[in-house]
Amino acid sequence: MKKFFSPQSIAIIGASTKSESIGGILVNNLLANNYHGKIYPVNPKYNQIKDLVCYPAAKDIKKEIDLCLIATPAPTVPGILADCATLKNPIKNFIIISAGFSETGPEGKKLEQQIADLAKKYSLRIIGPNCLGIINTQNGLNASFAPNNFLSGPIGLIAQSGAFAAALIDLGTRENLGFSCLATIGNKTVLDETDFLTYFANDPKTKVLGLYLENIKRGPEFLSVLQKICQKKPVIIIKAGTTAKTQAAIITHTGAMAGDEEVAESLITDCGAICAHSLSEFLGYLKIFSYFKAPVNDTTILITNAGGPGIIAADLVAKSSVLNLYEFSAAEKFHLQKQSPEASSFGNPLDLRGDADHTRYETVIKELSKNKKIGALIVLATAQVQTNIPAIWRTLFAAKKYCPFPIMPVILSDTIASLLTPDIPLANFDDPLYAVQSLEKYYLWQNKKNININFGKSAKIAATRQKKNNQYLTQVKNRQRSILLYSEASHLAASYNLNILPAQRLNSLDPQTLTYPTVLKIDSDQILHKNKEGGVILNLKNSEQLSIAAKTLQKKFAKTDLIVQPQSEPGLELIIGLKKDNNFGSVIMLALGGIATEIFNTKIFFSPLGNTRYFENKIQTSPLGQLLDKQGIKLQTVIENIQKVSALANENPTVKELDLNPIIFYPDQPPIIVDIKVILE
């Protein structure tokens, strides 16, 4: 990867003298930032571009080439790759800027497959196609057709959308946010987010990572790398393309399939990364990790020259589930009042009054900086008649040096725009919301680093069981069925000691073993939603009621098997489920069952590779955990069942979906699974 970000020599295939064409912009961008490597434009049309010799083809360069940019029409790309890969000094590293691949349809998809095949054959490392290129601000390398107005700084950006990167560069200039490296990864035929994540983990200039992703190519590897890097560096992720409708947009955009946002957010957060839900959030998180110290603890002080905005900010801290408002002791108030008698209130917010100048800010900040109990300081300022915003800005910057906790400026004034320049390396939050939210995330990230809830490196597999189940499921599949019957699903589940409520077929019923009340239901590999379709009759109290019910169902569902189960005792109805996610493979879900399922939409997703501590931690911190607690149900019992389903998921990759719904938990007896559905791929 070093050859990409610090190449000694670059060839540009499709270079151009036209400064508005992509081939022209690429040459200009490489020349514009004092990049010191060798630059070889390639285009048979020209002998010279700017002051550079232009070569007819890559083979004519006859020098070692660290990196090759390709900006020619899509159909020419496979040929160019093959040529470059078979030179005497073969080229191994490519950035394919060209569009016109899988994002455009079947034809493009074929071309992209050719690229993938060539990469495999010749061990090529390729970024793109359909990308903007990469930038390394540390050595002036702009190997992209992005604008040249980027600032240098601590952010490593990985973007699946080139336009997103371009917008970030532009907004970065406005917000005074600088980048170490930017990588746009396009269709990620060869190199993907996981490769760049790995690289940025070890890049010393990159202190914080920002990712824009629409899908995740190698989900499990991504999580594994992410988990490691989050122990050292904060990673902010904006995951777009969440909904079915938007997925259509993604297919036409980079030809990728989008995954389920909720699962992605859950697993990404498990790894210690931070999900941003809007551009404003994303910028806020990049700001705090770029410029500010870590909060020393969760107590926060607000100082302000403006009552209203101070109260808005204090509301946010007071409502936060992470931060707390610091409360001054009487002695502290007395002392502060002596230092700054002009301030009107020594509560929180500490109101410096509308006529506060920068020295009043400074006096109070200096005083507070000595207080070891303070975790962070949020400083608000509005431009009132006597306010000198530039002087306050410089005061806040100076305070960074002597103050042990972060000082976050919330300057609510138009004046700030002209102050946000690299001369003063500091960022401003122009809404208290994003200052507080960012502080929360910094605090959580810092403390999460210490929680070790590693995913298992590889799942434990019980080989004999796996083999048996595999044979069993293959038999079902051979019968051209993907939905298992109740008896089949029960058979599978039983091999994991899942406690499925027994069922007898109505037509082979042993009346001796039958107890009332009982439940009659259909058992079908066609009708998935039995309940909804009226295929379940509950609470049958005697044989008469049972036979009436049987006639009803037989009439309604001709040729469908009927099964009889004992009626279960009421308890806490939960769902444990398993789903193959587009991005991450098998994931496990724990949710509230019964009638409230859809209304409260309370669910937790797990990786089936998680350890016990991971399951414990996720349930305990959720509403479901509180519910278990209130009902006196042992957390351990729930976890055991999740682990059984995890084992089933890990050993049976052909299971596409599984539902234990409901699994009823009790305070004083083992849980019972009343119904099970299994769907194969």
Looking only at residues 293 through 332 of this chain, which bind its own copies when binding is defined by CB under 8 A? 304-312, 314-315, 318-319, 325, 327
Taking the complex as a whole, the smallest distance from the CB of residue 413 to its own copies amounts, in Å, to 5
Binding residues for its own copies restricted to 662-681, rule: CB under 8 A: none
| Cβ-based nearer residue to its own copies, 91 or 592 | 592
Tokens of 26: 């690429």
Window of 54-62, 77-85, 378-386, 504-512 that interacts with its own copies by CB under 8 A: 378-386
Interaction residues for its own copies, span 546-575 (CB under 8 A): 570
Contact yes or no for 189/128 (Cβ under 8 A)? yes
Among positions 77, 159, 209, 503, the unique one binding its own copies when judged by CB under 8 A: 159
163 is an interface residue for its own copies by CB under 8 A = yes
Q: How far is the CB of 147 from its own copies (least distance, A)?
A: 6
User: Which distant-in-sequence residues (6+ apart) come within 8 Å of 452 by Cβ?
Assistant: 613
- Cβ proximity to its own copies, 150 vs 614, nearer residue: 150
Nearer to its own copies, 138 or 602 (CB): 602
Buried b (16+ CB within 10 A) or exposed e, 640-665: bbbbbbbbbbbbbeebebbbbbbbbb
CB 626 within 8 A of CB 636: no
**Contacting range for its own copies; rule: CB under 8 A; set: 73-81, 133-141, 346-354, 662-670:** 346-354
Nearer to its own copies, 448 or 530 (CB): 530
Using CB under 8 A, count the residues that bind its own copies: 90
Closest among 250, 47, 264 to 130, alpha carbons compared? 250
| The two structure tokens encoding residue 192 | 């993907």
Should residue 421 be labelled a site residue for its own copies when binding is judged by CB under 8 A? no
| Binding residues among 71-100 for its own copies as defined by CB under 8 A | 99
Residue 162 C-beta: closest distance to its own copies, Å: 7
Segment 424 to 483, residues that bind its own copies, using CB under 8 A: 430-434
Chosen residue from 417, 514, 538, 548 binding its own copies by CB under 8 A: 417
Query: Which residues in the 605-664 window bind its own copies by CB under 8 A?
Result: 623, 626-627, 630-631
Binds its own copies (CB under 8 A): choice among 337, 344, 421, 542? 344
- For residues 330 and 463, which CB has a smaller minimum distance to its own copies in the complex? 330
CA 99, 105, 109 angle in degrees (round to 5)?
Answer: 70
Cβ contact 409:393 at 8 Å: yes
| H or E stretch at 378 | strand 376-382
- The Cα–Cα gap between 340 and 352 comes to 8
Tokens read off for 116: 């993938």
Region 126-145 residues binding its own copies, contact defined as CB under 8 A? 145
Binders in 588-607 for its own copies, by CB under 8 A = 595-596, 598-600, 602
Query: CB atoms < 10 A from the CB of 33, how many?
Result: 16
User: What are the C-alpha distances in Å from 293 to residues 181, 230, 426?
Assistant: 22, 17, 12
Burial 323-357, CB ≥16 within 10 A → b, else e: bebbebeeebeebbeeebeebeebebbbbbbeebb
Q: Convert residues 225-244 into a mask of x (bound to its own copies by CB under 8 A) and - (unbound).
A: -------------x-xxxxx
DSSP for residue 500: B
**Candidate segments 293-301, 370-378, 406-414, 550-558, binder of its own copies by CB under 8 A:** 406-414
Q: What is the CA radius of gyration of the chain?
A: 31
Rule CB under 8 A: which of 250-289 touch its own copies?
Answer: 250, 252-254, 261, 277-280
